[in-house]
Amino acid sequence: MCAASSFYSATGASQSLELQADVLVLGGGLSGTWAAVAAARAGARVILADKGWCGASGVTATAGPGHWWVAPEERRAAIDKRLAGALGLADPQWMARILDCTWRTLPTLAGYYDFPRDERGVTQYRGLRGPEYMRGMRRLAEDNGVSILDQSPALELLRNADGRLAGARGWQRQARRDWQVRAPAVVVATGGCGFLSRLLGSQTNTGDGHLMAVEAGAELSGMEFSSYYCIAPLDSTMTRSMVYTFGSYFDDAGRPLGIVPGPDFTNALARALLQGPVYCRLERVPEALRARLPYVQPNLMLPFARRGIDPYRDRFPVTLHAEGTIRGVGGLRVVDAHCQTGVPGLFAAGDAASREPVTGAVSGGGAVNAAWALSSGQWAGQGAARHARGNASLARRGLLLGLGGIGMPRRQGDKAPDNRTLVRRIQEEMHPYDKNLFRSGGQLDRSLAELENVWDRLRHAPEGHGGDPLRVRETAALAAVARWCYGAALERQESRGLHQRSDAPAQRVEFDLHLRSGGLDRPWVRRDGLPASTWTDFENRSHNA
């Protein structure tokens, strides 16, 4: 690897960094680090580029992630239970694969993560502390020879003269220079899209990877399942929802509200919030759980401590933050067991990929999503390493062409669009409960019209701009993902799982299918029937097909 300044600069920066690898991983969260480690262990030279600081950025680093951790003899029952709630859109074979991969892989972190033991001395693997987990993953990646570019968001994917994927380029924020990595295989592990909703740890999750991949020819799936909301104290980003199942809820006058744990909890809370402030008190949290919370969710009590609130005794106001595709479902469609997209050499993992195969129409929450990130990251990394071995010469020489479109800073000095105003307009369509959670065809049409106006503003803005070259590109990604989410939601003319429409309240058999999405200036949605899926005994199923 070497520094250079001979390639085309996307930003006009006077300095640049050119590197070469077999596999480039975009994103340094849970799935990205697992992908980088898996690719390196498969013999690939790996570079990981993170938008933040690998080991501290992303939603896992701020959380207490569980894992879908199930012993072999219990897996059939666990899969049957998840299938019953997936509403016809999940695949039991994918579920079996992630259960097996998680069971085999998580214990290998010993030495990088201090797994606790219970009172009988049995090591506990199910729940981890996010900060220590991600610090351990960074060390594991470095010990396996992965080169890490921190504070280095990607801006666009690259192709060679033959039109094949050949790497990516981006911007190093602290060094204020361009970077470019030539690589025949790229793993997109940039996370989901939370539409800058103040969800803890999600500030880097603006849909950049989705936009870059679609520009390269990939398609998305399940984008209509993007209406997940999470409870948090008002004016806080602390979206850790488990303890709120023990909450009691009150209106502004102190009258109890009939909000109880269960599948209608979020909708009931949202309906109450549309009427006025809602307050919570956590007096029903068991003492044993109170004692364990500082370990499982170490940041949970900070907002209360800063405000002098005892949440077990005092009432405090709450809100709901939109999580978009982070704990929603949709993302880049994967077309094989190694999580390759429809673009040869381009792989997707974690929240950047659609989790329909393992969650169906409902959220995977923390446990299934963490297991998916761990597993899909490894499969993508292994697949990328294998692809690189067969295409090693593709990206080594010749001019590389950027695939980025809207929001790319092609020359310096031009005035940028009013980025803050455009982001606010996107959020005004994607955050409100009465637009995204409680959907209807008429409202979806109105929101899509507004989002098209935002896209037109970006499309007709000058190509170049001064300042941070990332911000307009992020805005374009937010607008693109919002249009894909609502376009799919308009097409699915029924209610199923996370996707609920007041004008189509029933689940309909004709929508027992997947919705694929794509397109930039002209977004499209395609109905795709479910493949035949049967499963045999676990011992006969290959986890590395």
CA distance 98 to 378: 10
The radius of gyration computed from the CA coordinates of the chain, to the nearest angstrom, equals 23
- pLDDT the model gives residue 10: 59
Q: Is the pLDDT of residue 356 over 70?
A: yes
- pLDDT the model gives residue 541: 42
Helix (H, G, I), strand (E, B) or coil at 430: helix
- pLDDT the model gives residue 4: 39
Q: Tokens 């989410």 appear where? A: 485
Cβ density class 327-346: b for 16+ within 10 Å, e for less: bbbbbbbbeebbbbbbbebb
- pLDDT the model gives residue 58: 87
Question: Given strand 331-332, what is the order of strands in its sheet?
Answer: 331-332, 220-221, 513-518, 524-529
CA distance 23 to 386: 10
- pLDDT the model gives residue 220: 98
User: Averaged over 254-269, what is the pLDDT?
Assistant: 93
The tokens describing 66, both together, are 């569980």
Residue pLDDT, tens place only, 75-92: 999 999 999 999 999 999
- pLDDT the model gives residue 6: 46
Q: Is the pLDDT of residue 5 over 70?
A: no
Based on DSSP, count helices (H) and strands (E) in the chain, helices before strands: 13, 18
The pairing of beta strand 177-182 with beta strand 16-20: parallel
Pick the residue with more confidence: 207 or 12? Answer: 207
Band the pLDDT of 22: cuts 50, 70, 90.
Answer: very high
CA distance 70 to 76: 10
Q: Is the pLDDT of residue 301 over 90?
A: no
CA distance 438 to 269: 12
Q: What angle do CA 409, 410, 412 make, to 5 degrees?
A: 75
CA distance 28 to 235: 28
Q: Is the pLDDT of residue 239 over 90?
A: no
Domains of the chain as residue ranges with CATH:
16-225+325-402 (3.50.50.60), 228-324 (3.90.700), 419-498 (1.20.58)
The tokens describing 185, both together, are 């295989």
Looking at 64-73, 117-126, 161-170, 391-400, which range is the least confident one? 391-400
Q: Tokens 């939601």 appear where? A: 489
- pLDDT the model gives residue 500: 96
The count of other CB atoms within 10 Å of the CB of residue 381 is 33
- pLDDT the model gives residue 238: 83
DSSP 308-347: T--TTTS-EEEEEEEEETSSS--EEPP-STT-B-SSTTEE
Q: How far is residue 442 from each of residues 69, 438, 490, measured CA to CA in Å?
A: 42, 12, 9
CA distance 318 to 231: 7
- pLDDT the model gives residue 414: 53
User: Averaged over 18-46, what is the pLDDT?
Assistant: 98
Looking at 3-17, 356-370, 518-532, which range is the least confident one? 3-17
- pLDDT the model gives residue 2: 38
Q: Is 84 exposed, middle or buried (0-12, 13-18, 19+ CB in 10 A)?
A: exposed
* Beta strand extents in 359-492 (DSSP E only): 401-402
CA distance 274 to 378: 43
Q: Is the pLDDT of residue 402 over 60?
A: yes
Highest mean pLDDT, choosing among 105-114, 287-296, 401-410: 105-114
The structure's pTM equals: 0.93
User: Averaged over 322-345, what is the pLDDT?
Assistant: 96
- pLDDT the model gives residue 540: 43
Band the pLDDT of 507: cuts 50, 70, 90.
Answer: very high
Q: Is the pLDDT of residue 20 over 50?
A: yes
When the pLDDT of each residue in the chain is averaged and rounded to a whole number, the result is 91
CA distance 211 to 24: 17
Residue pLDDT, tens place only, 480-490: 999 999 999 99
Pick the residue with more confidence: 158 or 300? Answer: 158
Structural contact between residues 27 and 348, judged by C-beta atoms closer than 8 angstroms: no
The tokens describing 91, both together, are 């695949």
Cβ density class 386-405: b for 16+ within 10 Å, e for less: bbbeebeebbeeeebebbbb
CA distance 102 to 376: 10
Helix (H, G, I), strand (E, B) or coil at 517: strand
Structural contact between residues 286 and 246, judged by C-beta atoms closer than 8 angstroms: yes
Q: Is 174 exposed, middle or buried (0-12, 13-18, 19+ CB in 10 A)?
A: exposed
Q: Is 313 exposed, middle or buried (0-12, 13-18, 19+ CB in 10 A)?
A: exposed
With a CB cutoff of 8 Å and minimum separation 6, the contacts of 494 are 501, 504, 506, 507, 508, 511
Question: Given strand 46-49, what is the order of strands in its sheet?
Answer: 147-149, 46-49, 23-26, 185-188, 346-348
DSSP 339-375: -B-SSTTEEE-GGGB--HHHHTTS--TTHHHHHHHHH
